[in-house]
């Protein structure tokens, strides 16, 4: 992919990338996840090290977890073998393989590694991978047929705000996302979506509304799970946009508003990403209780009263 002027600007503002070993996974997370039918699954997420995504989205901070150049053949297999050797039995219900890039980009996941990755995933009933909607093609169905379990593909929808969507440098149209989701469903592949809270170029007073509207669109396109992800700074571009008034970091209160506002949306399990949520909090007194509330709702899907706090009033 030829680098645009926006690509070059965004990359020039990044701080130095930490060294990443292509043969060592970044880590794992075990958690419970809710499916649209209310079932609770045990999920193991493996954060794999590999090639950087070529799309250079303005809000992205995942580039720091990637290597320079393409992923060496066999590296992902070696990473996953080491991780799975330590998980014990029985295996969780779902395996999530997140590469900080695109699973169906040949530079990120060498095609010759797919059969071995599928064999390693055999003990799991379901497998989730993430990839840009533009990478969805015949290779997705081919990988799904290699798996013993059911495949789910997570795609970033981010926002349906017409101005913001155009300016995220994601090179994604709403029509392209919708076609990719329809193609996956037609192949019997589940869809998961990522939606931003606090997307740049969206007025802060409209942020929650556009997040809820975007979640509703993802659900209408058949997304089984939709994750609301607050936009984080630290990549240089977000700081530039904040200085020009085009980005306002989201707050914990907005994350609560967004998750609560999605309670009425049918067909999808909607969750709030609570990782590093401390960055969005304005009050240490109620932070722990509010984070626990979000995590409970993520699993149960049931609305709960907001946490009352005399120190900040729940702001």
The per-residue pLDDT for range 11-37, each reduced to its tens digit, is 999 999 999 999 999 999 999 999 999
Q: Is residue 313 part of a domain?
A: no
Pick the closest to residue 240 from 8, 10, 5, 65 (CA basis): 10
Alpha helices in 168-314 (DSSP H): 174-186, 207-220, 237-243, 252-261, 287-300
Q: What is the pLDDT of residue 310?
A: 86
Cis peptide before 300 (omega within 30 of 0): no
Q: Is residue 31 part of a domain?
A: yes
Pick the closest to residue 129 from 91, 172, 81, 184 (CA basis): 184
DSSP annotation string for 145-160: HH-SSEEEEEEEEE--
Q: Average pLDDT over the chain, rounded to whole?
A: 96
Q: What CATH number is given to the structural domain containing 64?
A: 3.20.20.70
Q: Is residue 306 part of a domain?
A: no
Alpha helices in 153-233 (DSSP H): 162-167, 174-186, 207-220
Q: What is the pLDDT of residue 251?
A: 95
Q: Is residue 307 part of a domain?
A: no
Which regions in the chain score pLDDT beneath 70?
none
Q: Is residue 296 part of a domain?
A: yes
Pick the closest to residue 293 from 248, 249, 257 (CA basis): 257
Q: Is residue 310 part of a domain?
A: no
What pTM did the predictor assign? Answer: 0.96
Q: Residue 10: left if φ>0, alpha if ψ -120 to 50, beta else—which one? A: alpha
Which residue segment(s) compose the domain that 101 sits in? 5-300
Q: Is residue 305 part of a domain?
A: no
* Helices (H) then strands (E): counts for the chain: 10, 8
Total domain count for the chain? 1
């Amino acid at each position: 992919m030829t680098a645009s002027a926006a690509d070059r600007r965004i990359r020039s503002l990044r701080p130095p990338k930490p060294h990443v070993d292509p043969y060592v996974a970044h880590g794992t997370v075990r958690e419970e996840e809710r499916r649209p039918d209310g079932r609770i699954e045990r999920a193991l997420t493996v954060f794999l090290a590999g090639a950087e995504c070529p799309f250079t989205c303005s809000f992205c901070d995942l580039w720091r977890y990637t290597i320079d150049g393409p992923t060496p053949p066999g590296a992902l297999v070696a990473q996953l073998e080491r991780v799975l050797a330590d998980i014990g039995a029985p295996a969780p219900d779902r395996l999530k393989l997140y590469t900080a890039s695109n699973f169906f980009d040949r530079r990120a996941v060498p095609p010759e590694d797919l059969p071995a990755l599928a064999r390693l995933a055999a003990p799991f009933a379901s497998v989730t991978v993430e990839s840009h909607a533009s990478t969805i093609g015949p290779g997705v169905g081919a990988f799904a047929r290699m798996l013993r379990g059911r495949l789910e593909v997570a795609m970033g929808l981010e926002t349906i705000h017409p101005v913001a969507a155009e300016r995220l440098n994601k090179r994604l149209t709403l029509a392209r996302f919708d076609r990719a989701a329809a193609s996956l469903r037609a192949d019997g592949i589940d869809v998961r979506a990522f939606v931003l809270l606090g997307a740049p170029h969206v007025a802060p007073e409209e942020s929650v509304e556009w997040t809820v509207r975007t979640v509703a669109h993802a659900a209408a396109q058949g997304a089984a799970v939709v994750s609301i992800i607050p936009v984080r700074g630290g990549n240089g571009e977000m700081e530039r946009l904040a200085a020009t008034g085009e980005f306002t970091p989201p707050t914990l209160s907005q994350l609560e508003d967004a998750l609560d506002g999605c309670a009425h949306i049918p067909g999808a399990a909607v969750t709030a990403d609570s990782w590093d949520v401390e960055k969005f909090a304005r009050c240490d007194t109620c932070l722990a209780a509010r984070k626990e509330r979000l995590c409970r709702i993520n699993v149960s899907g049931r609305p709960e009263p907001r946490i009352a706090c005399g120190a900040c009033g729940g702001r």
